[in-house]
Amino acid sequence: MKQFYFITLIIIFSTYWMGKAVGAVAMKGEQIEQHQHEANELHGSEAQSEGLSLTQEQLNMADIQIAPLTKQFYQSQIYAPGEIKANGYTSYLLSPRVDSIVIKRYATLGQHIAKNTSLVTLFSADVATAQTNYRLAQAQWQRLKKMAPGTVSEKDALTARAEFEVAYSQLAAFGLIQKDIEQSIQAPPEKLGEYTLYAKTSGVVLSDDFAQGQRVDSGAQLMLIADESNLWVEAQLSANQTVKIAKGAHVQIQVNGKRYPATVSQEAHTINQVTRSRIVRLNVENNQHQLHPGMFSDVYFSFPTSEQLLAVPEQALVRTEDGDWAVFVVNGEGEFVATEVELGVKFIGLQQIKGLTEGTKVVTQGAFFVASEQAKGGFDPHNH
């Protein structure tokens, strides 16, 4: 019996000391893991302080520019797609005022023409009738004027004069000018009904969708003539964009990579039912004739910021491996360190950044070269 109690006691003590040993081993493992975690954090901290050093020769070769961040007032920017159109207030739409047939054309698409230039000759049976009536009325009026006073009643004289003026007005209403109306008196019978339309403004022929011999209805568009020295740009702003755009505000448009100044002239008070957009009309000077109706453009509206902000040129921004935005900061040792930033408002050619303090020196030009050199050296732009 004593032997049994002795064995039981040995088992209890053995179990106790074995548990103590296991606990000690587990605690030791936790301490080792903690030391490793601290070491990793220390290593990460050291990695974030790593930077890229470049020689003066490399800086000069890549034209790398460095500048301290300075808070300033900027122009915030709103973008909208736009289309260049002919100025509707200086353009002229050529169309017959009576059903006609095209006899001959004198101007072609894209041709620069002067005011009063002959554009097209047409034939109309209605014009022929009006010319005949004019010839008769003119002859009657001229006959009565030559008669001796007192031989014609005042009523007959007034009637003859009124019929002559009505006949003249009818031809003028058909689009004939004074010279052609007067010459129609001497026109041979086979030329009756022919009349010529002229340019009412100088400009360029933008469209001429017709052919000789074609029958055209009254009011049909034959030609569109526009003075391209001043054009319209119709910008399409989002219907949800409620910012107020003042008349006369200065705007920048970009076409084929080149920018042109423009001015806000009008804004529609309705939403386009097809594009669901607000239409803002701009005027742009085109004295060099580099812009043409039908071209698409990028429109940039600018508004001053209410407070001073930090911003860098767009080329100063680079992407990290995680897809975040970063700039290269120059540390105290003159090394370039990729530092993540948060983007804010977009300006014209500039981008607001957050996360850095005023006075921090950053690469404003040549960031792509620095990123390339950093990649060659095995540095992680994300600083992990």
pLDDT for the residue numbered 378: 53
CA distances in angstroms from 49 to 277, 334, 336, 353, listed in the order given? 49, 12, 10, 21
What kind and span of H or E run contains 276? none
Q: What does the block give as tokens for 293?
A: 């109706």
Taking only the tens of pLDDT, the chain with its 384 residues reads 444 444 544 444 454 444 444 444 344 445 434 444 443 443 333 334 368 899 888 899 999 999 999 999 887 778 899 999 999 998 999 999 999 999 999 999 999 999 999 999 999 999 999 999 999 999 999 999 888 887 888 899 899 999 999 999 999 999 999 999 999 999 999 999 999 999 999 999 999 989 999 999 999 999 999 988 999 999 998 877 777 788 888 899 999 989 999 999 988 777 777 777 888 999 999 988 899 999 999 999 888 888 999 999 999 999 998 999 999 999 988 899 999 999 998 887 889 999 999 999 999 999 999 999 888 865 444 444
Q: Which phi-psi region, left, alpha or beta, contains residue 284 (left: φ > 0; alpha: ψ -120 to 50)?
A: beta
Q: pTM, whole model, 2 decimals? A: 0.58
Burial class (CB in 10 A: 0-12, 13-18, 19+), 172: middle
Quote the DSSP letter at residue 157.
H
What kind and span of H or E run contains 196? strand 194-198
- Closest by Cα among 333, 309, 326 to 362: 326
pLDDT for the residue numbered 3: 47
Q: Cα 241–246–251 angle (5° rounding)?
A: 80
Q: What does the block give as tokens for 93?
A: 């739409």
